[in-house]
Amino acid sequence: MIASLTQNQPAWHRKDLISIAALSAAEITQLLDTASAFKDVGTREVKKVPALRGKTLVNFFVEPSTRTRASFELAAFRLSADVINISASTSSLTKGETLKDTAKNLEALLADIIVLRHSSAGAAQFLAERLDASVINGGDGAHEHPTQALLDTFTIREKKGKIAGLHIAIIGDILFSRVARSNIHALIKLGARVTLCGPPTLVPRSFESLGVEITHDLDALLPQVDVVNLLRIQHERQRKEYFPSLGEYTAFFGLTKQRAARLRDDALIMHPGPVNRGVEIDSDIADSSRSVILDQVTNGLAVRMAVLFLCASARAS
């Protein structure tokens, strides 16, 4: 199966995955196709392949995470790699060790792949330029979250059969969202029409340079779209109030039951998690049949298997 993954595909040459902005449409498609093959592994009785046997992955999370960290850990197990998890609070970062020194020490322990989540934009690129190990960006500040965009794109392609030509709305706190940036790059490269919607303070016109449209009228937008992707308010990255109150935000930009009724019957409702129920999305809508929020999480496993497999293979060759 592993040999068949790379047949008829352009050679993947990157040891690191730092951003979607750096990828071509062909590279994104290769990642999605490889993830499709790995998703089949999850349907077998023995859900493991030996692709990364003998390799060591370090999950180095300097910011909190549930989905990304657990998903990379499980993806590595499914590929037969060994895994260790390090968090900021239990590492020697708390004693003043630098990020570079910590990572160099992990490499000295023969880590082959380091998955880094960090609050500073550029942290993953910084390490990738200094380490022989593969570095995978698990989210860096408000810059990028490439595997989230890949799993979102994978889920849309799986449910709709295509990306090109779809109209996709990304709603909410765009300014501080690494998920939004990575999604915009992936969807535009694959030929989707993307409209951003939220308060003007959180959806500045400068995003138009990425090839998206912008509106602040959610009620008018909802009947037009194939997919609506709702973002969490990133309180941890906002340094001042960008809207009067959460209640005011929900009144204008929350996917309430009344607003969800404006969507087409076949529209997908997405959210990268963690969800603030009752703020960006009504709790019942988050659990409704049109919501693919948990499918996104399931698909993240196959997507991360693909990323680990391709980056480790490129490093080895």
Instruction: Give contact residues for ligand CP (rule: CB under 6 A).
Output: 65-68, 139, 145, 148, 272-274
Closer residue to ligand CP (CB): 16 or 73: 73
CB of 82 to ligand CP, least distance (A): 21
Comparing CA positions, the residue from 212, 225, 165, 223 lying closest to residue 185 is: 212
Comparing CA positions, the residue from 184, 167, 162 lying closest to residue 231 is: 184
CB of 63 to ligand CP, least distance (A): 8
Phi, psi of 197 (to 5 degrees): -145, 135
Closer residue to ligand CP (CB): 25 or 84: 84
What is the C-alpha to C-alpha distance for residues 97 and 118, in angstroms, rounded to an integer? 15
Give me 8's structure tokens.
């008829």
For residues 72 and 136, the answer to whether their CB atoms sit within 8 Å is yes
Query: For residues 55, 61, 64 and 67, what is the CA-based torsion angle, rounded to 10 degrees?
Result: -20
Closer residue to ligand CP (CB): 67 or 315: 67
Q: What is the DSSP string of 249-315?
A: HHHHHSB-HHHHTTS-TT-EEE--S---BTTTB-HHHHTSTTB-HHHHHHHHHHHHHHHHHHHHHHH
The answer, yes or no, to whether the previous bond of 274 is cis (omega within 30 of 0) is: yes
> Around 297, how many Cα atoms within 13 Å sit in the side-chain half-sphere?
12
Closer residue to ligand CP (CB): 149 or 197: 149
Closer residue to ligand CP (CB): 68 or 291: 68
CB of 65 to ligand CP, least distance (A): 3
CB of 132 to ligand CP, least distance (A): 26
Closer residue to ligand CP (CB): 112 or 152: 152
Distances (CA, A) of 146 to 171, 250, 282: 18, 28, 27
CB of 121 to ligand CP, least distance (A): 15
CB of 265 to ligand CP, least distance (A): 27
